[in-house]
């Protein structure tokens, strides 16, 4: 659910287009559309530091999860290892560019971009350093946060292992454990902090920055008037 900030402090339900006045939420509270009961927002109280650490770990797991073998297969006395990178390379060699691009974006590109944007955003939030481009960064983050294909790829991999086990020997590789860990850390980063919490933090930082700026201007004008 994408919640767009509005100067009049309103929420727009993306299901029934109902306009609702934005209300401040306490930790653990949820806001629902009065017409269709679709969830508009939810505020959680997880520490930004914890989410930042989880996000950093998730980003670090992408490389080994992509390179290390997801499964070891012995078929007709031929042993082979299969990883995400080897699968993409195989598609490219066969001229199947569309599956190669989709897997590259859904499994490596979008998750990497999501983790990088989250790390940048959370780092500035932890430091309480506000910049106007952080709003655009959060808009982009919300557009890609649910576009990952990690769970779909894992489901397909498990189905393939079950089917291939009937005609050969298939064993999970160490890369599969890391890949599952990557999915877990991505889900944690999505569940532990909600878009509402991020927007609220950014709006608070914006207001604090403007308050400090106005106070500095008054101080400067006061000194100028005395001289």
Query: What pLDDT digit, counting tens, does each position of 154-207 carry?
Result: 877 777 777 777 777 778 888 889 999 999 999 888 888 877 778 777 777 777
Residue 73: phi, psi to the nearest 5? -130, 135
**Claim to verify: residue 39 and residue 70 sit in the same structural domain:** no
* 11, part of any domain: yes
- Of the chain, the percentage scoring pLDDT greater than 70 comes to 74
**Strand, coil or helix: 20:** strand
Nearest residue to 72 via CA among 209, 193, 174: 174
**Claim to verify: residue 27 and residue 54 sit in the same structural domain:** no
Which pTM value belongs to this model? 0.73
Per-residue confidence (pLDDT) for residue 119, from 0 to 100:
93
Task: With a cut of 80, say whether residue 221 has pLDDT above it.
Answer: no
CB–CB of 84/100 below 8 Å? no
Domain that holds residue 10: 1-43
Nearest residue to 170 via CA among 90, 48, 103, 70: 70
Residue 170: phi, psi to the nearest 5? -125, 130
- Of the chain, the percentage scoring pLDDT greater than 90 comes to 14
Rg (CA), the chain: 23
User: Pairing between strand 169-172 and 19-21?
Assistant: unpaired
* 166, part of any domain: yes
**Claim to verify: residue 126 and residue 32 sit in the same structural domain:** no
Count CB atoms within 10 A of the CB of residue 192: 17
CA distance linking residue 120 with residue 133, whole number of Å = 11
> Mean pLDDT score of the chain, rounded to an integer?
78
* 207, part of any domain: no
CA distance linking residue 29 with residue 195, whole number of Å = 13
**Claim to verify: residue 160 and residue 52 sit in the same structural domain:** yes
**Claim to verify: residue 58 and residue 167 sit in the same structural domain:** yes
Task: With a cut of 70, say whether residue 11 has pLDDT above it.
Answer: no
**Claim to verify: residue 28 and residue 113 sit in the same structural domain:** no
Per-residue confidence (pLDDT) for residue 28, from 0 to 100:
60
**Claim to verify: residue 53 and residue 78 sit in the same structural domain:** yes
* 225, part of any domain: no
* 201, part of any domain: no
CB–CB of 45/61 below 8 Å? no
The alpha carbon of residue 95 and the mean position of all alpha carbons in its chain are separated, in whole angstroms, by: 31
**Claim to verify: residue 31 and residue 98 sit in the same structural domain:** no
CA distance linking residue 100 with residue 89, whole number of Å = 8
Per-residue confidence (pLDDT) for residue 25, from 0 to 100:
65
Per-residue confidence (pLDDT) for residue 8, from 0 to 100:
46
CA distance linking residue 205 with residue 121, whole number of Å = 12
Per-residue confidence (pLDDT) for residue 15, from 0 to 100:
67
Q: How confident is the model at residue 91 (pLDDT cuts 50, 70, 90)?
A: confident
Of residues 216 and 1, the one with the higher pLDDT is: 216
**Claim to verify: residue 127 and residue 30 sit in the same structural domain:** no
Residues in a beta bridge with 31: 41
Rounded to an integer, the average pLDDT of 139-153 is: 81
* 213, part of any domain: no
CA distance linking residue 177 with residue 187, whole number of Å = 15
Rounded to an integer, the average pLDDT of 209-217 is: 62
**Claim to verify: residue 24 and residue 53 sit in the same structural domain:** no
Q: How confident is the model at residue 9 (pLDDT cuts 50, 70, 90)?
A: low
Of residues 47 and 5, the one with the higher pLDDT is: 47
**Strand, coil or helix: 84:** helix
**Claim to verify: residue 61 and residue 161 sit in the same structural domain:** yes
**Strand, coil or helix: 136:** helix
**Claim to verify: residue 160 and residue 111 sit in the same structural domain:** yes
Q: How many domains does the structure of the chain reveal?
A: 2
* 220, part of any domain: no
Task: With a cut of 80, say whether residue 78 has pLDDT above it.
Answer: no
* 120, part of any domain: yes
């Amino acid at each position: 659910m994408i919640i767009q900030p509005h100067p009049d402090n309103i929420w727009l339900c993306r299901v029934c287009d109902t306009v609702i006045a934005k209300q401040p939420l306490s930790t653990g509270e949820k806001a629902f559309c009065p017409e269709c009961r679709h969830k508009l927002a939810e505020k959680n109280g997880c520490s930004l530091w914890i989410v930042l650490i989880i996000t950093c770990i998730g980003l670090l797991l992408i490389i080994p999860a992509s390179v290390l073998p997801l499964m070891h297969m012995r078929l007709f006395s031929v042993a082979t290892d299969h990883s995400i990178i080897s699968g993409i390379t195989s598609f490219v060699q066969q001229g199947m560019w569309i599956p190669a691009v989709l897997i590259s974006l859904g499994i490596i590109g979008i998750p990497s971009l999501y983790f990088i944007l989250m790390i940048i955003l959370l780092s500035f939030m932890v430091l309480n350093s506000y910049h106007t481009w952080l709003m655009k960064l959060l808009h982009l983050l919300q557009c890609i946060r649910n576009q990952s294909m990690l769970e779909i790829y894992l489901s397909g991999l498990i189905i393939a292992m079950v089917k291939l086990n009937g005609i050969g020997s298939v064993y999970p590789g160490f890369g599969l454990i890391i890949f599952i860990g990557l999915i877990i850390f991505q889900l944690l980063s999505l569940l532990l902090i909600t878009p509402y919490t991020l927007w609220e933090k950014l709006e608070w930082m914006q207001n604090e920055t403007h308050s400090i700026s106005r106070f500095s201007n008054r101080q400067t004008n006061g000194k100028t008037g005395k001289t």
